[in-house]
A and B are shown apart, each in its own frame.
Chain A
Amino acid sequence: MMERITSQMQSALMLTNINNDLAALDQTQNELATGMQINQPSDNPYGTALSMQLSGQISTMNGYSANVSDGNAWAGTASTALNSIEQATQSARTLVVEAGDGSLGSSGDAAVAAQIGQLVTTVKQAASAQYNGQYIFSGTATTVAPYADATGDAYQGDQGSILRAVAPGASPIAVNVNLSTVLNGTNLSGSLNNDTAGGGLLGTLETIQSDVTSGNAASISSDLSTLDGNLSDLEELQGSVGGLQDQLQMASTRITDFQTTDQTQLSSTEDVNMASASISYATQQAAYSAALQTGAQIVQTSLLNFLKD
């Protein structure tokens, strides 16, 4: 407690208090107007770093989410293409069964052979499916069609994987499947066969075509069992595409969970609590008005007001 209170002290104190009140009001007003409790790093240095980190994570999650959609598109396109290959193979199988019993006669056999030839083309066309301008069955050689007229059954792509990152910290997953091993078949050393004798779907269909043309009934029945083997390889591939789609679905759920968590945490870090900020604002405004009012009254009066001459 000061012994003497001078007018300079009074006005200095009044100004300090009014400025403090105004600064607090200003801060709360800024928070309310921006909706953020962190408007500059010094408001909460740790919170600022956290908020930047969370925003970065959310952006990464959005990237993963885009990757999942992209992967789904690849898998969907692959699935459609594989279905049409399967349909074509099934049609071929029906035709072979009809031709196998020799009831069609040679002109009928020729028609079947022609149809099978057509189906080979259909299979190759389906194998040339594209998504977003990229050949999906050419491995990483996405600008090259897997089969070209000039090169016959020789596979033009590579065995590379198209990778998409879909989860933080996890290895990227391959969103393409390797159709060439089904279409071309592999030899004992594991490399692709690039000719008609290969044992792959294309080779089998072409063998059947020549066997039907030549009316070789004995070969046709053994061709049929090879074709069944190819068909089961194809179905396995379809299964792996289904598996990929499941995997992407799960990744998508996980990403959504992460996004929700990050968003919630970001919001609780940097967003203002409107209720408490509004109450603070009202309290600070009351303090400010009181400071103005009492300040004006104190400074106006002195002993002089009560001295009578």
Chain B
Amino acid sequence: MYISTYTALQSALSGINAATEQLDTTGNNIANADTPGYTEETANTSASLSLTLAADNGAGVQVGTGVTVSSITSARSDYLDAAYRLQNSVSGNASTAQSYTDQVQSLLNEPSTTGISSQLANFWSAWNSLAASPTSSAAMGAVVSDGQTLAGSISQLSGDLTTVQTQAAQQFNTITESGGEVDADATQIVSLNTAIQQEVGAGENPNQLEDQRGEVLDQLSSLANVSVTAGSDAGDSDMVNVSLGGLDPNGAGPVPLVTAADTGSTMTSNSVWEPAVAADTPADVGGTLGALMNVAGSAINGGSPGQIDGYLQTLDGVAQSVADEVNSPTVNGAPVTTDPPFFSYTSGGAPGSLAASLAVNPQLIGTPPALPVEVTDTGITGDNDVALAIAGLASGAGDQSYQQFVSTIGTDAQAAGDNATTQSALATAVSNQRQSTEGVDLSQEETNIIEEQQAYQASAQIMNVFNTMISSLLADVG
């Protein structure tokens, strides 16, 4: 049985090479420990094919020939990626909802000494003062100007709510329009798809490109529910299909964003994702976009009434309730229709338009104000029946409907805040779980360094031993 003198030397060399490659990988892992989307890589080694030698007894003997790095794999887990993206979408949805609901509640400026509730109180107490001096033009002026302040604030609140609604619709359009975030992400995914397929075709491990694609998908998942599937054909099996929304199996279904067949330069019409808003519910769309659809409601083209539409409708109810009770107070047990009515408003428009139109009847504004206070029935100057009846409306239906309005928004904001906190904690938990599998653990890498360094040194030692052995052999023989 003969064996080449240098086989062992070659084995030692393969050991040094493998250790070097492993150290390279470890170094790369450490360098990318903080790179978003990077997944830990492992240089997998396997024993090289052994030499079979014929033994003296006729049986074969296998002699090892060292080690080779068979592949470099990344610790990507499709399952954890999907779990993270789902939670990221829910969390993005919750935080957008919270930010808009907070904005709405800060418009209310309640509780405070300047909000609408104290303006209502001021308005009623102006009527009370007028009831005490029904002939005083100063008291009449106070009633009119407090009424104007109140009507102005309600109308202003309606305008402010509409502005927030429009902002949400604008943000939605900015994200989904051509050249927007969704479009940019789709473009990137298509070009990464193409590059990955090419590298795989060339027999490479496109781990870094896959990491980049994963990172883009992560970003996309905060905007909407993302479903990712691998391409089904041989030519695109390493590409991914991406679609948005459509979580609900009974809903409109996901809207395709990128198909694996796309090859870069020509984007399909799906690249600008215009969701079928009429068919897809906000909950179905999910993510920031779902939250925006919910907030903006009818302000988005084709959208169905949303959160702010509801608030505006309630505010209309508040405005109408206050105006109606002042316009027809109950005097001595019978409703009196003041002529001209104190408040004017236009009903029947879009949500919020009634509140926006609330004003003190222009016929009443003047010096002195032409109030219908002096009871339309008797015309006696000192009679304060109507003023007394209107002052008695304090803490009545109008006040209560406003309090309920504020309380509803407060409850919504509280729920949105709690939900955002919970979902963000869950997102952190899922992210940690993914990081634990896919991320770079420095302690482990540093332990790997020691192992790999020792493997390198040991292989070098073998070379050294071999060198000494062969040198002494040559010296003795020579």
Name the segment of B11-19, B118-126, B264-272 touching the other chain. B118-126
| Residues of the B chain whose Cβ atoms lie less than 8 Å from the Cβ of A44 | 410
Measured in the bound complex, the distance between the Cα atoms of B402 and A9 in whole Å is 46
Contact indicator per residue, chain B 116-136, by CB within 8 Å of chain A (1) or not (0):
011011101100110111110
Interface of chain B residues 420 through 434 with chain A (CB within 8 A): 425, 428, 431-433
Q: Does B388 contact A (CB under 8 A)?
A: yes
How close is A58's CB to chain B, nearest CB, in angstroms? 8
Residue-wise interface mask of A (272-305) relative to B, using a CB-CB cutoff of 8 A (1 in contact, 0 not) = 0000000000000000000000000000001110
A302 pairs with B403, CB closer than 8 A: no
Cβ–Cβ < 8 Å partners of B57 in chain A = none
Task: Report yes or no: A163 in contact with B446, Cβ–Cβ below 8 A.
Answer: no
- Contact B406–A6 (Cβ < 8 Å): no
Q: How many residues of B contact A (CB 8 A)?
A: 67
A158 and B131 alpha carbons, distance in the complex (Å) = 18
Interface positions, chain A 132-166, Cβ under 8 Å from B, are 132-134, 138-143, 158, 160, 162-165
A143 x B381 contact (CB < 8 A): yes
Q: How large is the interface on A (under 10, 10 to 19, 20 to 34, 35 or more residues)?
A: 35 or more
Q: CA–CA, A140 to B59, complex, Å?
A: 132
Which residue from A7, A70, A160 sits with its C-beta under 8 Å from B380?
A160
Q: Which of B94-126 contact A (CB under 8 A)?
A: 101-102, 105-106, 108, 110-111, 117-118, 120-122, 124-125
B388 touches A163 (CB 8 A): yes
Name the residue in A13, A41, A56, A139 with the highest tally of chain B Cβ atoms < 10 Å from its Cβ.
A41
User: Which residues of A lie under 8 Å from residue B408 when comparing CB positions?
Assistant: 45
B44 at the interface (CB under 8 A from A): no
Encoded as 1 (CB less than 8 Å from any A CB) or 0, chain B from 255 to 273 comes to 0000000000000000000
Q: How far is the CB of B418 from chain A (nearest CB, A)?
A: 9
Question: CB distance A45 to B432 under 8 Å?
Answer: no
Q: Given A4-B441, A55-B111, A59-B124, do A303 and B388 touch, yes or no (CB 8 Å)?
A: no
What's the least CB distance linking A211 to chain B, in Å? 38
Other-chain residue from A4, A12, A141 in contact with B428 (beta carbon distance below 8 A): A12
Interface hit among B48-56, B208-216, B389-397: B389-397
- CB < 8 Å neighbour of B129 from A66, A139, A172, A303: A66
Contact bitstring A251-267, B, C-beta under 8 A = 1, else 0: 00000000000000000
Contact between B394 and A56, CB atoms less than 8 A apart: yes
User: Is the CB–CB distance between B436 and A40 below 8 Å?
Assistant: no
- Contact A41 B436, beta carbon cutoff 8 Å: no
Docked-complex contact A41 and B407, CB < 8 angstroms: yes
Chain A residues contacting B443 (CB-CB under 8 Å) are: 5, 302-303
Chain B hits for A45, CB < 8 A: 406-408, 410-411, 414
* Cα A162 to Cα B387 with chains together (Å): 12
Q: Which of A46-54, A80-88, A105-113, A237-245 contacts B (4 or more CB under 8 A)?
A: A46-54
Given contacts A42-B414, A45-B407, A140-B383, contact A52 B131 (CB under 8 A): no
Kindly name the residue among B120, B395, B413, B417 whose own CB sees the greatest number of chain A CB atoms within 10 A: B395
B165 near A: Cβ within 8 Å?
no
Q: Within the assembled complex, what's the spacing in Å between the Cα atoms of A50 and B380?
A: 40
User: Are A59 and B125 neighbours in the complex by a CB distance under 8 Å?
Assistant: yes
The answer on a CB contact under 8 Å between B446 and A41 is no
Contact between A63 and B440, CB atoms less than 8 A apart: no
Cβ–Cβ < 8 Å partners of A162 in chain B: 382, 384
**Known contacts A66-B129, A67-B128, A48 near B111 by CB under 8 Å:** yes
Chain B residues in 8 Å Cβ range of A164 = 131-132, 388
Q: Is the CB of B125 within 8 A of A48?
A: no
| Closest-CB distance, A282 to chain B (whole angstroms) | 23
- Which residues on the A side are within 8 Å of B125 (C-beta)? 59-60, 62-63
Closest partner residue, chain A, to B381 (CB atom): A143
Assembly CA distance A63 to B108 (angstroms): 26
How close is B373's CB to chain A, nearest CB, in angstroms? Answer: 13
Q: Does B34 lie at the interface of the complex (its beta carbon under 8 Å from any beta carbon of A)?
A: yes
User: Are A7 and B407 interface neighbours, CB within 8 A?
Assistant: no
For A67-107 the 0/1 string (1 means CB < 8 A from B) is 10010000000000000000000000000000000000000
Instruction: Report B-chain residues with C-beta under 8 Å of the C-beta of A165.
Output: 128, 131, 388, 391-392
Q: Is A191 an interface residue (CB 8 A)?
A: no
The 10 closest A-B pairs by CB, nearest first: A41-B410, A45-B410, A142-B382, A6-B439, A42-B413, A59-B121, A63-B128, A49-B407, A140-B382, A52-B117
Question: Known pairs A5-B436, A46-B407. 8 more at Cβ < 8 A?
Answer: A12-B431, A40-B106, A43-B410, A56-B124, A56-B394, A165-B391, A303-B447, A304-B442
